[in-house]
Amino acid sequence: MNDRNDVRHRAYDKKGPIVARNFNKRGFEATYCPTVEKALEQAVSYIPPDHVVSWGGSVSIDEIGLRPYVAEHNHVINRDTATTPEERLELMRRALLCDTFIMGTNAATEDGQLFNVDGNGNRVAALAYGPKQVIVIAGKDKGKTGRVLKVMPDVDRVVVEGVQRVTKHTRIGQSAQGARTGGIETVEAPIHISNVMPVDPQTKKRTRVGFRVEEGVRPNGRKRTVRVRYAKASGKDL
């Protein structure tokens, strides 16, 4: 359990209500929740049991337990149940007409603005028009940067150093060198790729990615073509 008397949590508890008021001034109905339990309780209070619910890719809604809750208590439109790309696309279209759409956001600013970069466009589309209501969950890791430790292309997720850290209980044992292993460990959990962006090496800010094709020469003298990623903001290679 986190100690809410530490410096970090005291800062969250002081600034959180102010940020919520700034969102309210812009027409949102915003609430600061100091714990994941309170966040889940608050989110659930907005969703009637007869609502059809769907969602966009988000770490935050998984972190507070909202997605498994609605899957158990509501009729849901879940694109991950699709067995073909065509069925997945159809479910994503149907989700735009659900009663409640839940999602995260790429960034929530202190003055009450949401920033989203959406590869498929389904999250931004739902936020702008379609569902009767949209619930946006913004977590504490917004704006953090870290080194990508693992890429999981089959499930569209990545593991980022220092982000989405969770407590994990493992069996206590002993290494070959005699050191104690296991117990309570803090590790990085996978997050959906829709919640991450590359950092421009020059500006140190998030950036969209471009690609260019370059021709080179192999050691054996044969020509080769390579695809190079670059930051659109500065043009620097990634």
Tens digit of pLDDT for each residue in 67-91? 989 999 999 999 989 999 999 999 9
Q: Which residues of 104-118 are buried (b: 16+ CB within 10 A; e: fewer)?
A: bbbebeeebebebeb
Token pair for 26: 């812009």
pLDDT exceeds 60 at position 3: no
**Residue of 170 and 110 predicted with greater confidence:** 110
pLDDT exceeds 70 at position 12: yes
Q: Exposed/middle/buried for 78, CB within 10 Å: 0-12, 13-18, 19+?
A: middle
The structure's pTM equals: 0.60
Tens digit of pLDDT for each residue in 136-176? 988 765 556 778 888 888 887 888 887 766 666 667 777 77
pLDDT of residue 187: 76
Query: How large is the C-alpha radius of gyration of the chain?
Result: 21
| Dihedral over Cα of 31, 32, 38, 40: its sign | positive
Asked if 116 contacts 126 with a C-beta cutoff of 8 angstroms, the reply is no
